[in-house]
Amino acid sequence: MEKFSYVNATNLEQVTSLLNDSGWGEVMVIAGGTDLLGELKEYVETPKTLVNLKTLPGMDSIAADATGLKIGALTTVADIAMHPTIQRHYTVLAQAAASVATPQIRNVGTLGGNLCQRPRCWYYRDETVDCLKKGGEICYAVEGLNKYHAILGGDPVYIVHPSDIAPALIALGATIKIAGPEGEKTMAVEEFFTLPATNPFRENVLEPNEIVVEVQVPQPKPNTKSLYLKAREKGAPDFALASVAGVFEMSGSTCNTASIVLGGVAPAPWRSKEAEAALTGKMISEAVSKQAGADAVKDAQPLNDNEYKVVLTQNLISRAAMMAAHA
């Protein structure tokens, strides 16, 4: 780990002005540090200054009312996972949060950090490798070891977005509030994340002097079933090999609308319009759910070692649909 100076943040203006003009990497914000500390120790990031967001007042709580949720960026993943209203009405979000890492990490890791965490690609995390994402020439995953890499939306960079919470938020139609030097702005979480074709170096729209301050989630309709399925090699801690955040508005076993967002398979949380179309307005049967899975992966482009993710994703989607309709 390189030396750095450490500043406890007192207000947003101070944060954005500290970040101002520095570009990426010189000045960085730290929340729980569960992701960033690993990067610092392995020299993936070598900032000169760290700004501790945890000292910002009033950003670590959840407000729930009939219109929806407001979750501060410093709220811990554990608080989201264990919140009774979230568990009951926003099940997909509670399940996604509960699937993150381990109890210790969930107690420390924050919502903002979860959404802004960096890729887990093993070439990215290796300080000696200068891959495309880090400004180098090539994505080593393409010809190299790519068992855990993207099958959808890759090119030119094949990371998978590591966040479990992001797909759940997108499936619920959440918005995100960002603070920058010009004040605050709000956008759909879905638009927050970007694909490498747009920007191979970052995973979202944030500018170097902006931070996430809050996430807002509209209350789902009463007849909504939502769930998060995450396939991983071991119980925990483990990132998703593939995951499905599904929000289904149902009449009996007929699906009125479906929102299907995939994790672990693309460089950004991946909304599957194809799966949604295959389910919308249908009685969910085995055949319908299978079709939804198949449609979702029809454009998948697996690399050498990750073809299994195609089947996995397909099966998870159909399982999610069957569970929503029949479980």
Partner 1 sequence: MPEKKEYKVIGTRPIRHDGVDKVTGRALYGADFHTAGLLHGRVLRSPHAHARILSIDTSRAEAYPGVKAIVTAKDLPDAADKVADLGEGAVHLKYLCDNILASDKALYKGHAIAAVAATNAHIAEEACALIDVAYEVLPPVLEVRQAMEPAAPLLHETLKTGSLGETAEEPSNVASHLQHKKGDIEAGFAEADVIIEREFVTGTVHQGYIEPHNATALYNPDGQLTVWCSTQGAFTVREQLTEILQYPISKIKVVPMEIGGGFGGKINVYVEPVAALLAKKTGKPVKVLMNRADVFEGTGPTPASFIRVKMGATKDGKLTAAQTHLAFEAGAYPGSPVGAGAMCIFAPYDIANVLIDGYDVVVNKPKSAPYRAPGATNAAFGSETVIDELAKELNIDALEFRIMNGAKEGVKRADGPVFPRIGFIESVEAAKQHPHYTSPNGKKHHGRGVASGFWFNIGLASSVSISVNPDGTINLVEGSTDIGGTRASIAMQAAEVLGIPAESVNPSVVDTNSVGYTAVTGGSRTTFATGYAAYEAAQDVKRQLIARAAKLWEVDEEDVQFADGEFSCINGKEAQLSFHDLSARLGETGGPVVGSAAVNPPGAGGAFATHIVDLEVDEDTGKVQILRYTATQDAGKAIHPSYVEGQIQGGVVQGIGWALNEEYIYNAEGTMTNASFLDYRIPTCLDLPMIDTVIVEVPNPGHPYGVRGVGEVPIVPPPAAIANAIYDAIGIRMTELPMSPDRMLKAMGKI
Partner interacting with residue 274 (select from ligand FAD, partner 1, ligand SF4, none; CB below 5-8 Å by kind):
none
110 binds ligand FAD (CB under 6 A): yes
Interface of this chain with partner 1, residues 96 to 125, rule: CB under 8 A: 120, 122-123
Question: Smaller CB distance to ligand FAD: residue 101 or 159?
Answer: 101
Question: Smaller CB distance to partner 1: residue 172 or 317?
Answer: 317
Partner interacting with residue 315 (select from ligand SF4, ligand FAD, partner 1, none; CB below 5-8 Å by kind):
partner 1
Interface of this chain with ligand FAD, residues 223 to 242, rule: CB under 6 A: 237, 239
- C-alpha 168/C-alpha 171 separation (Å) is 5
Q: Is the dihedral of CA 314, 315, 320, 325 positive or negative?
A: positive
**What does the block give as tokens for 208?**
């170097």
* Cβ atoms < 10 Å from Cβ of 48: 13
Interface of this chain with partner 1, residues 224 to 243, rule: CB under 8 A: 231, 233-239, 241
Stretch that binds ligand FAD, among 102-110, 188-196, 254-262, 301-309 (CB under 6 A): 102-110
Interface of this chain with ligand SF4, residues 136 to 155, rule: CB under 6 A: 139-141, 149
Angle among Cα 239, 78, 10 to the nearest 5 degrees reads: 110
Strand order in the sheet with 270-271: 224-231, 242-251, 254-263, 270-271
DSSP string across 86-148: HHHH-HHHHHHHHTSS-HHHHHH-BHHHHHHPPP--TTTT-TT---GGGT-S--HHHHS--TT
- From the list 62, 105, 145, 323, which residue makes contact with ligand FAD (rule: CB under 6 A)? 105
Return the axis-axis angle of helices 286-296 and 308-326, rounded to nearest 10°: 140
Partner interacting with residue 306 (select from ligand FAD, ligand SF4, partner 1, none; CB below 5-8 Å by kind):
partner 1
Containing H/E element for 157?
Answer: none
Residue 121, φ and ψ in degrees, nearest 5: -45, 130
Question: Smaller CB distance to ligand FAD: residue 99 or 146?
Answer: 99
208 binds partner 1 (CB under 8 A): no
Name the minimum Å distance from CB 8 to partner 1.
Answer: 22
Interface of this chain with partner 1, residues 261 to 320, rule: CB under 8 A: 305-308, 310-312, 315-316, 318-319
- From the list 109, 220, 267, 293, which residue makes contact with ligand FAD (rule: CB under 6 A)? 109
φ/ψ region of 171 (left if φ > 0, alpha if ψ in -120 to 50, else beta) reads alpha
Closest-CA residue to 275 (of 261, 295, 298): 295
As a 3-state breakdown, the chain gives helix, strand, coil percent values, each rounded to 5, of 30, 25, 45
131 binds ligand SF4 (CB under 6 A): yes
Residue 199, φ and ψ in degrees, nearest 5: -150, 105
Binding site for ligand FAD (CB under 6 A): 28-36, 38, 53, 73, 77, 100-101, 105, 108-110, 112-114, 116-118, 162-165, 211-212, 237, 239
Query: What are the residues binding ligand SF4 (CB under 6 A)?
Result: 119, 121, 123-124, 131-133, 139-141, 149, 157-159
